[in-house]
Structure formats: structure tokens, C-alpha cells
């Protein structure tokens, strides 16, 4: 399928996957032999994979993921290292609406973390986002009605609501204020 000088082929993802396997294994203080044994693979296979040479099948990856007790997709994650980022909390005046974008990541796909603070008796409309976007509300304190415009829901402290962000949606407080964490995740556009 692919050119190779000799022995195993080397694909771009293979190297990343190999590194990931080794990382996770060493994190658990597990030896390669032991992992191979637990996964029902040969030491040789694991050695090749961790060396970045190879092209494992999903069966093999699945066996490894199970042996490592992690979801299969965790073996397919790749490196991008940001340093620590600190965003201090802000004070807002009584009765003000606070709509702050605290953090945005765009490594391929987009992830946004907002803090939304609403005083009592406030009505906000959410801008529809890209198709496939999922919006998550986690109520830090207070009480509000929120969600898709056609099916909103009353939320209290600790409640989490996830809904499609590509439809019109609303946030509304009644008697008291509310403090909400909003996480917006957008997949790639097809």
C-alpha cells in the first residue's frame, strides 16, 4: 500500500500513535512485555508500534486500549502543548449582564469557554453557531430557563444542559441572578 525501504511502513499517524502508547504505558509503570501480555499481543508487535514503525489494525489498538483501560480514541490524540494560562475572575456591577469569553482553542476545531452572568429578570438570545456545534451550560449558581428556543428548560445549581447550538436558543432568569459556565464545541465543517 505504501512505499517502505524495508520491514514495516511508517505513516504519519503511526508515529503519533506509537508515542502515545508508550506514554500511557509508562505512566502506569507497566513494562512493554506486560502490556503485550495483557493485550494478547506479541512483544515484537508492541515494540514495532512504539517505535513508530507499523500500521496497527483497530483490533490491535482496541486490545491495547482495553489493556491500558482507556478509551480507544485516547490513543489517537496528538501533541500540542500550551503553557499555563490564567484568567482572573472579574467583578461586575450589580444588575449588569456579564458575557465573557474566557478561553478559545482552535487547534483544528474550536472550543470556547464562556462565563455568563445574568441579573434577575433578564432575557438573552443566543446567536446560532455553526452546524454541528454543541453548547453546554453548567450552572454555577442561581436559576434560569435556557436551551433551544422551542424546548427550553429550567436549570438550577449544578445542572448541566447540552443542546445543539446551531438552532436559536435563549437564556432567561426570573426571580434571581444566575452564573453559568458555557462551553461551546464546534466540529469541523464538512
Partner DNA sequence: TCCCGGCGTTCGTTATAGTGAACATATCGT
Partner DNA sequence: ACGATATGTTCACTATAACGAACGCCGGGA
Applying the rule CB under 7 A, the residues between 135 and 154 that interact with DNA are: none
Residue 136 binds: one of DNA, a second copy, none (C-beta under 5 to 8 A by kind): a second copy
Residue 31 binds: one of a second copy, DNA, none (C-beta under 5 to 8 A by kind): DNA
x-or-dash string of contact with DNA, 17-36, rule CB under 7 A: --------------xxxx--
82: left (phi over 0), alpha (psi -120 to 50) or beta: beta
Rounded (5°) CA angle 187-87-134: 20
Residue of 132, 153, 131 lying closest to 143 (CA atoms): 153
Q: How far is the CB of 62 from DNA (least distance, A)?
A: 10
Nearer to a second copy, 124 or 161 (CB): 161
Q: How far is the CB of 179 from a second copy (least distance, A)?
A: 7
Phi and psi of 36, rounded to 5°?
Answer: -60, -45
Cα(180)–Cα(144) distance, rounded to whole angstroms?
9
Q: How far is the CB of 189 from a second copy (least distance, A)?
A: 5
Cα(72)–Cα(77) distance, rounded to whole angstroms?
10
x-or-dash string of contact with DNA, 37-66, rule CB under 7 A: ---xxxxxxxxxxxx--xxxx-xx------
Amino acid at each position: 500500500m505504501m512505499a517502505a525501504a524495508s520491514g514495516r511502513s511508517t505513516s504519519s499517524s503511526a508515529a503519533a500513535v506509537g508515542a502515545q502508547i508508550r506514554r500511557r504505558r509508562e505512566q502506569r509503570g507497566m513494562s512493554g512485555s506486560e502490556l503485550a501480555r495483557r493485550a494478547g499481543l506479541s512483544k515484537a508487535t508492541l515494540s514495532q508500534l512504539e517505535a513508530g514503525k507499523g500500521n496497527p489494525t483497530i483490533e490491535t489498538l482496541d486490545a491495547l486500549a482495553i489493556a491500558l483501560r482507556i478509551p480507544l480514541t485516547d490513543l489517537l490524540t496528538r501533541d500540542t502543548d500550551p503553557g499555563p494560562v490564567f484568567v482572573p475572575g472579574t467583578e461586575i456591577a450589580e444588575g449588569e449582564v456579564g458575557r465573557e469569553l474566557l478561553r478559545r482553542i482552535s487547534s483544528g476545531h474550536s472550543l470556547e469557554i464562556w462565563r455568563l452572568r445574568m441579573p434577575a429578570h433578564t432575557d438573552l438570545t443566543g446567536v446560532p453557531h455553526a452546524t454541528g456545534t454543541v453548547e453546554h451550560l453548567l450552572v454555577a449558581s442561581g436559576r434560569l430557563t435556557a436551551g433551544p428556543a422551542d424546548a427550553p428548560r429550567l436549570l438550577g445549581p449544578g445542572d448541566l444542559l447540552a443542546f445543539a447550538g446551531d438552532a436559536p436558543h435563549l437564556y432567561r432568569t426570573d426571580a434571581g441572578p444566575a452564573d453559568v459556565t458555557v462551553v461551546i464545541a464546534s466540529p469541523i465543517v464538512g
